[in-house]
Every structure is written in structure tokens, then in C-alpha cells.
Amino acid sequence: MDDNTPNDGALAPVGVALVGAGYWGPNLARNFLACAETDLRWIVDLDTERASAVVNGRPDVRVADDLSQALDDPEVQAVAIATPPATHLPLAEAALRAGRHVLVEKPLATTAADGERLARLADDLGLVLMCDHTFCYTPVVRAISRLVASGDLGDIQYVDSIRVNLGLVQSDVDVFWDLAPHDLSVLDHILPPEVRPVGIAAHGADPIGSGQACVGYLTIPLSGGAIAHVTVNWLSPSKIRQMVIAGSRKMAVWDDMKPSQRLSILDSGVELRTPEGPEEKRRLLVDYRVGDMLVPALPEGTEALRAVVTEFAECARTGRTPLTDGWAGVRILRLLEAASVSLRSNSAMISVPDGS
Amino acid sequence: MDDNTPNDGALAPVGVALVGAGYWGPNLARNFLACAETDLRWIVDLDTERASAVVNGRPDVRVADDLSQALDDPEVQAVAIATPPATHLPLAEAALRAGRHVLVEKPLATTAADGERLARLADDLGLVLMCDHTFCYTPVVRAISRLVASGDLGDIQYVDSIRVNLGLVQSDVDVFWDLAPHDLSVLDHILPPEVRPVGIAAHGADPIGSGQACVGYLTIPLSGGAIAHVTVNWLSPSKIRQMVIAGSRKMAVWDDMKPSQRLSILDSGVELRTPEGPEEKRRLLVDYRVGDMLVPALPEGTEALRAVVTEFAECARTGRTPLTDGWAGVRILRLLEAASVSLRSNSAMISVPDGS
Amino acid sequence: MDDNTPNDGALAPVGVALVGAGYWGPNLARNFLACAETDLRWIVDLDTERASAVVNGRPDVRVADDLSQALDDPEVQAVAIATPPATHLPLAEAALRAGRHVLVEKPLATTAADGERLARLADDLGLVLMCDHTFCYTPVVRAISRLVASGDLGDIQYVDSIRVNLGLVQSDVDVFWDLAPHDLSVLDHILPPEVRPVGIAAHGADPIGSGQACVGYLTIPLSGGAIAHVTVNWLSPSKIRQMVIAGSRKMAVWDDMKPSQRLSILDSGVELRTPEGPEEKRRLLVDYRVGDMLVPALPEGTEALRAVVTEFAECARTGRTPLTDGWAGVRILRLLEAASVSLRSNSAMISVPDGS
Amino acid sequence: MDDNTPNDGALAPVGVALVGAGYWGPNLARNFLACAETDLRWIVDLDTERASAVVNGRPDVRVADDLSQALDDPEVQAVAIATPPATHLPLAEAALRAGRHVLVEKPLATTAADGERLARLADDLGLVLMCDHTFCYTPVVRAISRLVASGDLGDIQYVDSIRVNLGLVQSDVDVFWDLAPHDLSVLDHILPPEVRPVGIAAHGADPIGSGQACVGYLTIPLSGGAIAHVTVNWLSPSKIRQMVIAGSRKMAVWDDMKPSQRLSILDSGVELRTPEGPEEKRRLLVDYRVGDMLVPALPEGTEALRAVVTEFAECARTGRTPLTDGWAGVRILRLLEAASVSLRSNSAMISVPDGS
């Protein structure tokens, strides 16, 4: 840093244009405004009145009904896209081609192919493409991620995720595309490089005749012999959000409905033991080691979306690859597409490309 | 009742021979001895010392190393078989051919074909063949069964069962054959006739290299669009035994690890609603009706096996078909066999015969 | 009602002046504005800027720094007071003498004598004096109140309330005056007329040397042999809010930290049984009857303060005595004062006047 | 140790005579028989048939209807007394005067004066007098005791114990004498020497008219400003056994009804903070530090009574003072007697002697 430059350019807030003033846009706007490292300059929506309302008519945030207006502003270095999925590809492409870093709401695009096109374009242009997988920025997922990465859990044996959600059954997407992206993006985020999905099978049911799967199960064999499983369900009056990540050394249990004990780390493991003596010969034996349980204090009350916005700003400034980059978005889309293929193929196991 | 007949024949205890003094035999012996409607006359085991020990050397219970000796006793009307699975077929067949009613430990036989042979033979001879699906005789399953049969739950939408058990990994059977019979027999027992399994797919994993699946998932589409799902797992340090039976009107939640709240009945349902107005047009809507929850008092402390023994005695006396007859045992074997086929076929969905 | 008056005066919203724009005032303002039966006309605070901010500068709500200005407005029929306790007496007295109905934040006054003066004045003038015991207007307390009043619980045997709260230790009030008013006002509200406090003893401790009791216990014998007990505590890192109301027929358990099971009603009771036989002669026997448990669905999400405001408006219109009138406030003050006397008297049991 | 003596005398099992074959005697007998360090030689009961049945007629255990016979046996070094409380004094005195070490069931005697007499006699004779406060030998109380002794909890601030028990209301003792000895003996055991009871007040109620207090509360100020509180209750259909031990650094929560999470240690504390700035001037402030929670693995399945018997054997051999000696029993009796005085004195706070 140049000592003669008190207000160093690299530390100036990143100028941002936000596209989309609908369901998620206001949340992003609020966080861009609150974050010291971002400067929300534009809010773009076909409905400019709505756009203006999102920022309470603040005079320092300009409103436009077309992204191109914001892209003409040289102070805009980054674009955040919170519009319906079908528009992600053209908007993100336009922003990237105009030299801007891009943050896209999930899903990255409507197809894996479109997502790949965006991820490649960003790579080619040396720009940041980030996917807003919000859950990956919660304190509990960060903690799980560190546990896995540090080797504390040992070898991953299985991951079991249950997401039973109060919510509207939707006519255009099934329960997999609606709910599973959360589980899949967390899975993608926490799994170590040597333990990756190698296939996926989807089972669905529509017992209420809605025309879409309302109850669904995803089974995901992982390289190395482990397995992940996801339960998604729209039809339950009670809400469940649980994920178990079992390793050979420790097991992490995440219960999102239990704020006072959201994450429990069991110092417990299961391992194969060599049988001894004639009585044991008949059976393979496992040792169940049951040790202490730790419930780490997690910072409650911090909004994950603030961490998303901060990560985006930092990557935009430094060129660093974000924790959840475009390729993470592509991998989720590949899994969801393979799940749809499975669903249409009598729940056959569908391979997914390496690294997906 | 004829006053001149003080000891009415129909009410005399049923004479029983018990074969097998191993793991489960002592439990059966204890209940046959305690039940007023049964008279345990013989205990048969190759190890006669062990057999004798099971009844503490009581002089009124004879010991033999061969079933034929007990079958020579005309007072023996019924035979209970608690030996290793491979011996079930010959022993049960011998007892049936000798005109005795038969109670068999689960599994009924080692193959569905063998089980069918026994079930047909019993039908042909007009004898009782009963399968000891003990869980079906617990107060909680009886209560669930009544809830379903009475229509209180409404249409079954999904059944989700989780059985994560502390136990020894076995070298000769996988986690499906070890644990899932419990879930499948309960499922078979509680489902109404119009909602039956139409297929099964099995996913397994063996992350510890034991040579057998240690973590498994069964998906069972049901006739009418509902779905059942079973999670079985040998690798968890914590024990889970939960089953959710969700209907259109109410939902039953059975948590076997929560003695003070083992069964909860939520007066809650989900049903499709006709969309109204332009805003709702985009979505299919469901109504989530959340009502009271009832936790019925269940008789704790009564042993389910006592009810098994009583049911067996009553059916032996009256010729009534037991709650869990030979065909129930056959249906469980068909599902397990289809699950094994699925497992060998890359988890393909395998059809099961009607009524299975 | 006069048929010739289509817009009947009794149904016009009640004109309200709110005094106090501090901690609780904004909550009252929001509810007065949202309630169709009230018309918030004035907001009074020494800090008029703050007062104006509370209503976002709405032109239809006038701002004043002195209650007398609002009392000059003939459209003001009712005054709500949310100022520091020491000012309750003069403000409420002025409003009552000016012929206005009055709602006062808890505590009604700083002494029982002052509270009595207000309650008597309201009675003499035929005006409504209501105490804002907000908890009494929550769905759960309403449900408990109905259970007791209907006789469903049977005879009250004991009430046990625990309130362990994250909060600031205060220098001017002890933990009893800070937390116990909630428990005492609920107790006062739900107890039937024949089961009233006859005394109170207070035990306190100040293990951190704050100069005030931080941990406290209140024991309150009730007429008829029952007992109530209150635990209040500032020093716990975990928050507990539980109240058990045990009757001879049923027991209600309120756990405010468990939103999915806030109220449980156990159809269980304990009663004395006549001993039979020589073995039982030694002991008096009780029958523990354990029946079903019901968890009634409670309307979550409704704000209790809205019900407070509505009750106030209805009483102001009709002259009906509010559920929590001035005398309820007086009874709470008498109990708190007696508790303070007990505390200064080595925790002696202090009688409280009949009906208190 | 003499190298030439392979079977060292000090390691020979302690010869034991057990007096009392009633409710608790069989449990002691079973543990004396199973413990390698004790040799159960006599079982004494007026009902010699019952005595014989307790040891299944084992020939190596002699039966007598009078303790003096056993005391004639020079191999008997220790006597365990599990008879009705009124007989403890004469039996223990006889055994001590005969030079034997003594283990007495709780309560040590029926009065503190009698208990003191025994404790003094044992001291004078240099013999071991141990009180069977079984709970103090459970893994969870041992763990709490270590936490307190090590200073890990910091300064004790309060102890809150709740014991709500399914059980028979008794005609001869009230709920305090029936249930509170458990809480008081644990309290006595875990509290450090500088934090001792200085008084006790008892509040009781008898809402069912049994003639005895069925619901009770004990408040026990501790030296140094801390406080202990005990709730005992015979009238609840649900069982609660909880104890919170709050310190300035950590808090231990013992929930005996939660086997999978019996002990939780919260790394949390509350401490006084110096106020800063004008806004804080009004209030004394506390810091609530909320850190990790640890649930230590405790050895489940080990019987506490085995540890009692082992401790008794070791002390008998070595002359070491047992963890729960006669004086501990005296202290509990003093507290219970003071509680009874309080109960008869309108719940007045009764001082207890130093060290009690």
C-alpha cells in the first residue's frame, strides 16, 4: 500500500448495481446498504416504483428499469442478480461482458449447460462469478466445514439431511428443485475434495395429486464408499431441518430448529474391529466409541446474507475465488438435473461427472 | 358354558412345545410360563442342558433334543420355533404335518418361496401359522393400527421410518435383513388393504469396509400414490427409532426413544386448495391445517411378547387367523428379497407382486 | 342502540392520548394505530421530537409535551400511560379527574397505597382503570384461565413458576420487582376466587454483590391448602419460563421457550385413596392417574398487546370492567410490598389482606 | 508390602455382616457378593427365612436373627445396617463397641443427637462410620464434585434442585424427610468447605389433606452470599430430577431423566461489570458470557451401590475417612431437623450450626 494514498483505492467500497426488487432483492439491498465494503449505486427493476420503494426512495441509490443504464456507470464494479431464474443467464452474461463481477441468486441458471457457460465466461474474463448459497455462510455451516476440513471428523461415512418445510406447494417446480438446493449446496460446500458425489437417484411421490413430487428422497453415493441422503417434504405440518455428518472419529449433528443446541459434535466413532476368539468369529465386529459431546457456542443473530455480501465485495476487490463460486452453482444444477433424469427413469441411479 | 363341565375344553391352556433355547427362546419360555392360556410342556434344543436351564430345571417342563419326541405327546397342540432361520422350514413343516399350530420367529424362512410353502401348507391343513412380529403387538403399534383402520388419519400420504441402532455389524446379513424386518412388518401391519407396496428400491453403503451394507435406505412406492421410506443404520453412536405416518387428516409420530411421549397424534393435515385470484394463479396451493396434538397414554410396562403368546393361544384354540400370520411373514420376505435384488441391480426399482 | 343512527357512536373508535414515548410507548402506539377500535390522537412526551418519531411524523397524531393539552381535546376519551412508575399516580389521577378512562403500564403505581387511591378514584368516577398485564392477554394464559375457570383442572393443588431471564441486573429494583410481576399477575389472573394468596415469603440472594437480590424465591400459601411458588433469577445464561398449574384432575404445563409445545394439558391427577389390607395400613396412599396429554393448538403470531388495546377500547366504550383492572394492579403491588417486607424480616411469612 | 507375602493381608476381602433383609438389604447383599474386596459372611434378620432367600440359600453366607452371633465371628470386620431407622442407633453402637467398622443406610439415625453420638463413638474408637448416601457415588455427582473442587465452576452462586417423584405419600414422614435427604446429601457432598449452609427455611403444603406436607420447598442460604433451593413434590404425575449448580465461571446442569445428556457443563458465567458512560450509569451491569456446552460421557450402567461397597471396604482396610462419613449423615439430620422446626414456626429461617 502506498503510504501517500490515505484513502487507498483497494479499500474504497465496491460500487454495486442490484437487479431485481422482488422477493429476495430487498434483503440484498438492505445488506449492501449496511455493509461498509459495498456501495449500492443502482437498483434495477422493470417496476421502478417497486425498486424505489426497496430503498425507501433514498436519493443516493439510482433507479432504472434496464441493467444497461447501470452498466454505463463506471463506478459500478459489480452486479447482483435477484430476478427469476430464467433471466439469470442473459443478465449475468451482459454484466460479465461489460466487465463486472457478478453475484447470482440460486439457482445460477435454469440448466447446468447455461450455468457452465456463465462459469466459463467469468473464468475467461478473469471476473468473479459468485452464487448466493446463503446457508454456506451461516455460522453453523462454517463450523461444520472447518470440522471436516481439519480432519476432526475423520473419514466421512454418511451424511443424512432432512428438510421438511412449511411452504407452498408450487406448480412450476417440484420439491427437489425447491428445497434440495439448500442441502446440496451445503453438501457441496462441506465435503472434502476426495469425497464427491458419483451418482444420484431420486424417489418422489405426489400423494395429494398436485402434479409435482411433494415428498422426495435423494440418494447420493460418494466417492470412497460413503453415502449422502436427502429427505425433502412439503406435506408435513411440522418443520424439520436436520443434518447429520458422520465421520469415523466424530459426528456432527445440526438441528436448525434448536437454537440453543444448533450444532452438537459427538466425539464418537464406529470402526471395524478384528474378531477375537471363537464366539466372535461368526461376526464382524465394530467398536462404538461414545465420548463427550460438545455444543459449541455459535454467534447467533448474525445474518448470513451479510457474510455473503462481504465475501462478494472482498472477492470483487481482490479477484479471489469466492467460497461459493459459479462452478459450485454448476455442480448443484448438475445434481438437480440428474435427479430429474432419475425421477423420469423410474428412480434409476444416474452417474454424475467427476467433480460434480 | 355348561355348568356340569367345570373345566371347559375350549378354555384349557394350549399345550406348547418350544424349540430353541438360544437368544430368543428364553423370552418365549418365560411368557409361555406366565400366560394362563398356554401350558409349556416341552423345551427342545440340541443342547439339553441349556434347554433345562431356560426353565430353571422345572420338573413340569420336559426337555428333549429332538422335536419328534414332543410331537409324540398328544397334549402338545402347538409348537413355537425360535431356532436359526435356516431350520425354520423343516421344523415348521414337521410340526404342521403332525397337525400342530405353529409360531415362528422372524424371519419366517430364509426365502419367500420357502415361506410360501409353509403358509400354503398351514392353509391346506387348516392350521394356524403365526409369525412373531413382536413390534406389531406393542401398545404403540396397536394404537397406530387402530388410527389408520378407523380412518382417523385420513388417506395415507407417506410413512417415514428411521431405525438407527446400536448393535454389532454382522458378517452374514446386511443392515437391511438385520434391522428393516421390524419396519417392514410394522408397515405391513398398519397399512390399509388399499395402500400396499408396489415396488422397492434399496440403496446401501459400506463406508467401513465390512463387506456388508451398514447404512441403508429403502424406498417403497405404495398403491394410490403414497410412499414409504425406511432408513436403517448400524454406524451411529446414537440410537433413533422413529416412524411418521402422515395422513390427509392427521399425522402420527412414533418416537420409541421418548417413553413419556412415545406416540403423538397431530390433528393436522395438508390438502390441495383451488387457487383464487391472479396472485395465486401462479402456484398450486396447499392448506396446512395445524391443530391440537394428542399424546395418548399407552400402557407402559406390558411386554409385547405376552400379547404375542396370548394371540397365538387364542388362534390355536379358535382357528382364527392371527394378526401376523404366515402370509405376513411371506410379504416381508418378498420385500427383503426384492430389496436385495435392487441392491445388486444398482438400486433399480423392483416391482413386488400385488398384495405383497 | 338508536336505529336512526347508522354510524352509532358506540362503534366509533375511541380517541386515545398516549403519554410516554420511551421503551414501551412505541409498542402501544403501533397497536393503537393498527386497532380499528382506537384512534390515536395525541402522543405526549417531554421530548417531543422522540414523540414525533414514534409515529413517524404522521400528521393525524398530534404531539405535546404536556398531558393537559391532550386533555383539552374533547375527542380524547382515553389515556394510556407508559412513563416511569413514579409518574403514574399524578398522570393517571389527572386523566381520571378529567373524566378519561386510563390504561397504565405495570406497575400501576410505586406503592399499593397509591394504586388503591387510583383504583378507588376510578370506581368513584365510574371510569375504566386498566393495568397492562400483557401476559394475561397471551393465547396460552387465556387457555389456562379457561381451564381453571371451567373446573377442568379440578381443585388447584400447586402452582410452580420459574422465570430465569437474560437481562440486565438493575440498580434500582431487585429481581422480585423486575421479574415477579409477570408471574404474580398471571397467578392473580388464573386463580379462581376461592383460591387466593394468604401470605408471601421471599428469599433472595446476591452472590455477585450487586447490592440487590439477583436470585429470588417467593412462596405463596393459597387459601384452601394449595401453594404457589415463584423462582426468579437474573444470573443464568439460559432462559427458562415455565409454569406448572397442578389440579386434582389435570395438570397444565406452560413452557414459553417451546413454541411448538407451549401448553401441555395432562389428564392426570393425584388423589388420596383409602388404604386396604394390613400391608397398606402403614401408609396413606395416593393414586397417580396418568392419562392422555393434549397439546392444544394456540394462535401463534398474534400480539398480546393488540388484545390489551382492544380490551381497553371495549371497556372504555361499554364501561365493562377490564380483565386486568386497577384492583388487579393493586393486588400485585400488595404482594410485592409484602415480599419486600419479608425480605427485610429474615424471610418471615407475611400475611396479605383477604382478596389480595 | 512384604515381598515374601504373596497374598498380602491388607488385600484380603473385608469380612462383612449385613443386618436387614428388607427393601434395601438385598441390593447391598448383591453388591457385597459381587465385590472382590468384600466377603459377605453373615446376613442377619429377625425373619431368617427372608434373610436366607436374599442370598438364595448360599451355604457360604450364614444366617442369624441376632447381630451378636455375627459379632462373635472374628472374621467379621465390618457391619452394614439396612434396617428401619429407629434401630440404627442400637445396632450401630453395638457393632462399633464390638470393634467393627459400620456402614449405615440413610438416615444415619432418627435424630441429629443420636447421629452425633454414633459419629463421636466411631471417632473415639478409631473406627470407620460411613453413611450410604448412594447418589454421591454416581458418576454424575462424582463429576460435579470434581468440577466444583477443581475451581472450574468458579465461585458457587446458586444451587437449584428439583425432585418430583412418583411415589407413595407416606403417613409417617413428610415429603422433606422422604425426598430431600437425596438433595441435601448431594449438596453437602459437592459444596466446597467455604460455602456451607448457614440456615434453612421450609415451606410445605398438603393440598390433598394427607396429614403430611406433600409439596415442599427448602431455602438454604450459604456462607459467602450464595443460596441453595430444593423443591420436593409427591403430587406430580411426571417425574423431575434436576439440579443446577451455577458458578461464576461455569454452570453444571444435571438432568437425571435425560440419560443421553445427564450432565451439561455450560462454559458460561455472569459477572458484575463496571458501568461506563451516562446511559449505563442508571444500572448495574452484568456480563452474560455464553460459551460452549460440554456433555461429558459418563459411565452408564455402573451401579452406584458398587462404588459405595468398594469405598466402605477400602476405608475399613485403611482407616481412611469415607467420602460420606458419619458426620455427613449428622449434617443432613441437622438440616432436616431445622427444616422441621421451620415448618412448625411458620416457615421462619432457622440457623444451622457452623459446619453443618
User: What is the per-residue pLDDT across C288-307, written as a single tens digit (0 to 9) for each?
Assistant: 778 899 999 998 777 899 99
Sorting pLDDT into bands at 50, 70 and 90, what band is B278?
Answer: low
Q: What are phi and psi of A262, to 5 degrees?
A: -65, -40
Which pLDDT value is given to residue D2? 37
CB-nearest to C296 from B261, B264, B292 is B292
Distance from CA of B70 to the nearest CA of A (A): 30
Distance from CA of B158 to the nearest CA of C (A): 22
Task: Give the pLDDT mean for B238-247.
Answer: 92
**Beta pairing class for A14-19 and A78-81:** parallel
CB-nearest to C168 from D171, D283, D347 is D283
Contacts of D300 in chain A (CB under 8 A): none
Residue D170 CB partners (closer than 8 Å, separation 6+): C283, C284, D178, D212
Q: Is D171 helix (H, G, I), strand (E, B) or coil?
A: coil
Highest averaged pLDDT of the listed ranges A265-269, B166-170, C23-27, D17-21: D17-21
Sorting pLDDT into bands at 50, 70 and 90, what band is D6?
Answer: very low
Instruction: Identify the chains in contact with D, defined as 3+ C-beta pairs within 8 A.
Output: A, C
Residue A206 has what DSSP assignment? -
D242 near D254, Cβ under 8 Å? yes
Contacts of A248 in chain B (CB under 8 A): 208
Distance from CA of B191 to the nearest CA of C (A): 25
* Residue C7 in this model has a pLDDT that exceeds 60: no
**Beta pairing class for D199-205 and D215-221:** antiparallel
Whose CA is closest to C283, among D210, D279, A287? D210
Instruction: Identify the chains in contact with C, defined as 3+ C-beta pairs within 8 A.
Output: B, D
* Residue C209 in this model has a pLDDT that exceeds 90: no
CA nearest to B290 within chain C: C297
Which pLDDT value is given to residue D185? 97
Across the interface, whether the CB atoms of B267 and C297 are under 8 A apart is answered yes
C-alpha cell at B20: 430353541
Which of D155, D232, D284 to mutate: most C Cβ within 10 Å? D284
**Beta pairing class for B101-105 and B129-132:** parallel
CB-nearest to B297 from C264, C291, C296 is C291
Task: Give the pLDDT mean for B73-81.
Answer: 98
Compute the count of residue pairs across chains A and D with CB atoms less than 8 Å apart: 28
Across the interface, whether the CB atoms of A293 and D294 are under 8 A apart is answered yes
Half-sphere exposure of D99 (CA within 13 A, CB side): 7
A50 near A56, Cβ under 8 Å? no
Q: Among A277-286, B215-224, B335-344, C88-97, which stretch is predicted with the lowest mean pLDDT?
A: A277-286
Which of A173, A195, A347 to mutate: most B Cβ within 10 Å? A347
* Residue B3 in this model has a pLDDT that exceeds 50: no
CB-nearest to D205 from C226, C271, C284 is C226
C-alpha cell at D260: 443421553
| Average pLDDT in chain B | 90
| Domains of chain B from N-terminus onward | 9-133+306-325 (3.40.50.720), 136-301+333-351 (3.30.360.10)
Sign of the Cα torsion D86, D88, D89, D95 reads positive
Distance from CA of C171 to the nearest CA of D (A): 5
Sorting pLDDT into bands at 50, 70 and 90, what band is C166?
Answer: low
Residue A303 in contact with partner chain B when CB distance is under 8 A: no
> pLDDT tens digit string along C214-230?
999 999 999 999 999 99
Of all residues in chain C, the percent with pLDDT exceeding 70 is: 91
Distance from CA of C264 to the nearest CA of B (A): 9
Q: Among A199-208, C58-67, D2-11, D120-129, which stretch is predicted with the lowest mean pLDDT?
A: D2-11
Distance from CA of D294 to the nearest CA of A (A): 5
Residue B295 region by backbone torsions, left for phi larger than 0, else alpha for psi between -120 and 50, else beta: beta
Contacts of D295 in chain A (CB under 8 A): 264, 292-295
DSSP character string of D9-54: GGGSPEEEEEE--SSSHHHHHHHHHH-TTEEEEEEE-SSHHHHHHH
Q: What are phi and psi of D171, to 5 degrees?
A: -90, -20
Spatial separation of the C-alpha atoms in residues C32 and C313, rounded to whole Å: 9
Across the interface, whether the CB atoms of B294 and C294 are under 8 A apart is answered yes
Contacts of D221 in chain C (CB under 8 A): 203, 205
CB-nearest to A203 from B156, B219, B225 is B219
C-alpha cell at B256: 420409541
* Residue C329 in this model has a pLDDT that exceeds 90: yes
Spatial separation of the C-alpha atoms in residues D256 and C128, rounded to whole Å: 50
Residue C265 CB partners (closer than 8 Å, separation 6+): C147, C152, C250, C251, C252, C253, C293, C294, C295, C296
Number of other residues whose CB lies within 10 A of the CB of residue D244? 22
* Residue B26 in this model has a pLDDT that exceeds 80: yes
Of all residues in chain B, the percent with pLDDT exceeding 70 is: 91
Spatial separation of the C-alpha atoms in residues D100 and D96, rounded to whole Å: 5
Residue B285 in contact with partner chain C when CB distance is under 8 A: no
Spatial separation of the C-alpha atoms in residues B189 and A1, rounded to whole Å: 74
Residue D261 in contact with partner chain C when CB distance is under 8 A: no
Instruction: Identify the chains in contact with B, defined as 3+ C-beta pairs within 8 A.
Output: A, C
Which pLDDT value is given to residue C221? 97
CB-nearest to C219 from D203, D271, D348 is D203
Across the interface, whether the CB atoms of C286 and D234 are under 8 A apart is answered yes
Task: Give the pLDDT mean for D28-52.
Answer: 96
C329 near C108, Cβ under 8 Å? yes
* Residue C55 in this model has a pLDDT that exceeds 70: yes
Task: Give the pLDDT mean for B84-92.
Answer: 96
- Cis (ω within 30 of 0) for the bond into D6? no
Which pLDDT value is given to residue C2? 38
Angle at B143 between CA B140 and CA B145, to 5 degrees: 110
Sorting pLDDT into bands at 50, 70 and 90, what band is B58?
Answer: confident
CA nearest to D266 within chain A: A295
Contacts of D290 in chain A (CB under 8 A): 297
Give chain A's length: 356
* Residue C281 in this model has a pLDDT that exceeds 70: no
Across the interface, whether the CB atoms of B169 and A282 are under 8 A apart is answered no
Which pLDDT value is given to residue B99? 98
Spatial separation of the C-alpha atoms in residues A74 and A98, rounded to whole Å: 10
Task: Give the pLDDT mean for C126-155.
Answer: 96
Sorting pLDDT into bands at 50, 70 and 90, what band is C91?
Answer: very high
CA nearest to B297 within chain C: C292
Which pLDDT value is given to residue A2? 38
Local confidence pLDDT in tens for the 356 residues of chain A: 333 434 444 578 999 999 999 989 999 999 999 999 999 999 999 999 999 999 887 889 999 999 999 999 999 999 999 999 999 999 999 999 999 999 999 999 999 999 999 999 999 999 999 999 999 999 999 999 999 999 999 999 999 999 997 666 666 789 999 999 999 999 999 999 999 999 999 999 999 888 889 999 999 999 999 999 999 998 887 889 999 999 999 999 999 999 889 999 999 877 776 656 555 544 556 677 788 999 999 987 778 999 999 999 999 999 999 999 999 999 999 999 999 999 999 999 999 986 54
Angle at B214 between CA B211 and CA B219, to 5 degrees: 120
Spatial separation of the C-alpha atoms in residues C190 and D32, rounded to whole Å: 54
A210 or B123, which is more confident: B123
Q: From residue C336, how far is each of C183, C221, D348 by CA, in Å? A: 11, 15, 19
Residues 125-144 (B) with a CB less than 8 A from some CB of A: none
* Residue C327 in this model has a pLDDT that exceeds 60: yes
Sorting pLDDT into bands at 50, 70 and 90, what band is D3?
Answer: very low
CB-nearest to A158 from B155, B207, B284 is B207
CB-nearest to C246 from D219, D235, D347 is D235
Across the interface, whether the CB atoms of A158 and B217 are under 8 A apart is answered no
Which pLDDT value is given to residue C151? 95
Across the interface, whether the CB atoms of B295 and C295 are under 8 A apart is answered yes
Residue C294 in contact with partner chain B when CB distance is under 8 A: yes
Measure CA C262 to chain center: 19
Measure CA D59 to chain center: 33
Distance from CA of D98 to the nearest CA of C (A): 34
* Residue D32 in this model has a pLDDT that exceeds 70: yes
Sorting pLDDT into bands at 50, 70 and 90, what band is B2?
Answer: very low
* Residue D337 in this model has a pLDDT that exceeds 60: yes
Spatial separation of the C-alpha atoms in residues D346 and C191, rounded to whole Å: 23
CB-nearest to C208 from D207, D211, D286 is D286
C126 near C100, Cβ under 8 Å? no
> pLDDT tens digit string along D231-256?
999 888 788 999 999 999 999 999 99
CB-nearest to B205 from A172, A226, A283 is A226
DSSP character string of D180-243: HHHHHHHHHHHS-TTS-B-EEEEEEE-TT--SS--EEEEEEEBTTS-EEEEEEES--SS-EEEE
